[in-house]
Structure 1
Amino acid sequence: MKIARWDHEGATGEGFVSEGAVIPFPDALTVAEVLRGGVAAARSLFERARQETGVPLAEVRLLAPLVPTTIRDFVAFEEHVEGVSAGVEGKSDVPAEWHEAPTFYFTNPHTVRATGDVVAVPETRRLDFELELAAVIGGVDGSTGENLDVDAAASHIFGYTVMNDWSARDLQAREMKVRLGPAKGKDFGMTLGPWIVTADELDPYLDGEGFLAVRAEVYVNGALVGEDLVSNMGWPFPELVAYAARNSVVVPGDVLGSGTVGNGGCLGELWGRGSALPPLEPGDEVRMLIEGVGEIVNVVGERVPAPAIPRARTRPRLRHR
């Protein structure tokens, strides 16, 4: 099944994508409500909905398939870490700590974009993309999503969507020198779409260790820039979900990105390997495809000026008023 949100003649629709058409959920349900109900309930809804006549997909504008409750983005591809570290530190170095646990950061759910959107950018001179697959969490009867083991975590994966974690590399590099972040280098935009494909649709791509052997590709202005198999991750998705829930909780609507695929999943990795490809500029088109899921396409918009923030003040370090 495919779950989507769309705009049709100025009205927002939420429902299924089937046979080249969009079909609203029965009972005017929303994507958020369907995620809370879980895959089994969604399948029952689909059997009801498919009896209805939908609107041709070509006549609607797809929106981001959900408004995430939170977004966690992992860094699960060793090849990506090697390439980016070479660009930043001058050598391909994967910290020993990377192997110990699947590290992630939180980013902004309020700046999610859809396929087809023009993505305005901050005042950066090193704009980059990041090609990722993301898991979307759904509801499971009787579970709070807290402190899950790997098997339980797998049952909480409702489906998958394509993710582009837009990155301003110059801003990111500056702020991460303070040993925190990324923050403003990332939170201006993230594309999710074109829809959510339920996890069972990707079962044929699972290898013997539970990794998703789906092909991922990214094109800039029509030229293939990066390609990889998602199965090159260091951890399969259920382990990412279990780690996210460790002494914590995941809830329906949470999005967990795989991190950037290797072999050219972002310009930052390619720069680390000596590529002369330029940063993205206004007007550039970025197209991402993940086998079994779909494709997202965005055009880079103009730079958006922002109010200046002054430098930190140098003041006497008083201990008492």
Structure 2
Amino acid sequence: MRFATWESAGRSSAGVVGEHGLHALPGTTTVLDLVRAGLPAALEAGAAALDNSSPTPIDSVRLLPPLEPPTVRDFAAFEEHVEGVVRSVSGGGVVVPEWYEAPAFYFTNPYALIGAHDDVPVPPGSHVLDFELEVATVIGKDGASLTPEEARDHVFGYTVLNDWSARDLQGREMKVGLGPAKGKDFATTLGPWLVTADELDAYRDDEGFLQLDMRVSVNGTEVGQDLLSNMSWMFEELISYASRGTWVKAGDVLGSGTCGNGGCLGELWGRRGTRTPPPLEPGDIVEMTVEGIGSIRNRVVPGEQPTPITAARRRPRLRKRTASGRT
């Protein structure tokens, strides 16, 4: 089953994607409410919506992110992507040994999520804008210190994720040993809807990886294609690691990280030694399609002018207040 959230005439609704359009859930029920209720209850509510509500044409509404997650973690689970980006950033081509030891992730901004067809403003101060083709899983129930086997029962479903990246801002930030921060938190596309886990089980290979075809194009020209099964860790293993010594909760979003073979421009720049294709500019349209899930399509538009940044002040490192500092 596929659950969606949309806006029409200034009002947001949640419901199920049917053969002829979107079927609204009753009242103010949200997709996050369904996720927290658990997959069996969500499927039951979805079936009732299909039977009891008239469809709204998808092309008559603005699709919003399928849910409002409490947290968003984004991993880096594709070796090919990491290898290419390392070349782009440092000129080397070696993935650090620590990457192989455990799946790395960062927390990104849940308030920066945008819908499947929303415009993406260039972030303030950036001139090197990039996309990142990913699949995200949504946690279906709370859990802590889960094993990978236990984690499979905590998967509610999957959606497409574009982790938009300002490479120039990101590069400066990460030299400090923190981040990414402003290089990432301006926009993350999530959509077009949330597909329940049972719909994708048929795509699992013998190891348990999901063999989903992933493609991305810029202005109609395909730039990247990969299989989700090229992840070095399964989603269940990512969930297990995220929950290690802490909690994951229903509604949390975990991104796979960017796929290889052109899943982002940064990887291609590293492999080719030049910025070919060039960074994204206003007017460019980025479309991503993941087999079994759906497509998202966003247009880049001009952004706002940046507020000037105050440089760090050299401080005297006094340990006692001066006379002028007394009240």
TM-score interval, normalised by the smaller of the two chains: over 0.9
Q: Which residue of 2 aligns with 1:292?
A: 292
Q: Which residue of 2 aligns with 1:132?
A: 134
Q: Deviations over 1:231-256 (max 9, x none)?
A: 00010000001110110111111100
Q: Report if aligned partners of 1:126, 1:169 keep a CA contact under 8 Å in 2.
A: yes
Q: Deviations over 1:4-49 (max 9, x none)?
A: 0011232211010011311112454211110101111111112212
Q: CA deviation at 1:174?
A: 0.3
1:190 equivalent in alignment to 2:188? yes
Q: Which residue of 1 aligns with 2:74?
A: 73
What secondary structure sits across from 1:84 in the alignment? helix
Q: Report if aligned partners of 1:4, 1:195 keep a CA contact under 8 Å in 2.
A: yes
Once residues 58 and 187 of structure 1 are traced to their aligned partners in structure 2, the CA distance between those partners, rounded to angstroms, is 28
Structure 1 counterpart of 2:117, which letter? G
Q: Which residue of 1 aligns with 2:243?
A: 245
Give the alignment of 1:45-64 within 5 angstroms. Answer: 45-52=45-52, 53-64=54-65
- Candidates 216, 219, 222, aligned match of 2:217: 219
Structure 2 counterpart of 1:117, which letter? D
Once residues 270 and 58 of structure 1 are traced to their aligned partners in structure 2, the CA distance between those partners, rounded to angstroms, is 34
Q: What percent identity do the matched residue pairs reach?
A: 56
Structure 2 counterpart of 1:37, which letter? A
Q: CA deviation at 1:59?
A: 2.1
Give the alignment of 1:138-153 within 5 angstroms. Answer: 138-139=140-141, 144-153=142-151
Q: Report if aligned partners of 2:30, 2:67 keep a CA contact under 8 Å in 1.
A: no
Q: Which residue of 2 aligns with 1:3?
A: 3
Q: CA RMSD in A?
A: 1.1
What secondary structure sits across from 2:240 in the alignment? helix
1:164 equivalent in alignment to 2:162? yes
Equivalenced residues, count: 317
Q: Deviations over 1:198-235 (max 9, x none)?
A: 01111011111111100000000000000000000010
Q: Which residue of 1 aligns with 2:118?
A: 117
Q: Which runs of 5+ in 1 are unaligned?
A: none
Structure 2 counterpart of 1:190, which letter? T
Structure 2 counterpart of 1:228, which letter? D
Q: CA deviation at 1:56?
A: 2.0
Query: Please, which moves more after superposition, 255-264 or 50-59?
Result: 50-59
Q: CA deviation at 1:68?
A: 1.3
What secondary structure sits across from 1:79 in the alignment? helix
Once residues 279 and 287 of structure 1 are traced to their aligned partners in structure 2, the CA distance between those partners, rounded to angstroms, is 15
Q: CA deviation at 1:156?
A: 1.0
Once residues 104 and 110 of structure 1 are traced to their aligned partners in structure 2, the CA distance between those partners, rounded to angstroms, is 18
Q: Deviations over 1:153-210 (max 9, x none)?
A: 1111100000000000000000100011100100011000000000111101111111
Q: Report if aligned partners of 1:166, 1:186 keep a CA contact under 8 Å in 2.
A: yes
Q: Report if aligned partners of 2:129, 2:167 keep a CA contact under 8 Å in 1.
A: yes
Q: Which residue of 2 aligns with 1:37?
A: 37
Once residues 48 and 317 of structure 2 are traced to their aligned partners in structure 1, the CA distance between those partners, rounded to angstroms, is 68
Q: CA deviation at 1:146?
A: 1.1
Q: Report if aligned partners of 2:216, 2:289 keep a CA contact under 8 Å in 1.
A: yes
Q: Which residue of 2 aligns with 1:23?
A: 23
Q: Which residue of 1 aligns with 2:325?
A: none
Structure 1 counterpart of 2:199, which letter? E
Q: Which residue of 1 aligns with 2:260?
A: 262
Q: Report if aligned partners of 2:13, 2:28 keep a CA contact under 8 Å in 1.
A: no
1:305 equivalent in alignment to 2:305? yes
Q: Report if aligned partners of 1:26, 1:45 keep a CA contact under 8 Å in 2.
A: no
Structure 2 counterpart of 1:69, which letter? P
Once residues 278 and 47 of structure 1 are traced to their aligned partners in structure 2, the CA distance between those partners, rounded to angstroms, is 46
Q: Which residue of 1 aligns with 2:269?
A: 271
Structure 2 counterpart of 1:109, which letter? P
Once residues 132 and 277 of structure 1 are traced to their aligned partners in structure 2, the CA distance between those partners, rounded to angstroms, is 19
Q: Report if aligned partners of 1:221, 1:284 keep a CA contact under 8 Å in 2.
A: yes
What secondary structure sits across from 1:51 in the alignment? helix
TM-score of the two chains, using structure 2 as the length reference: 0.95
What secondary structure sits across from 2:144 in the alignment? coil
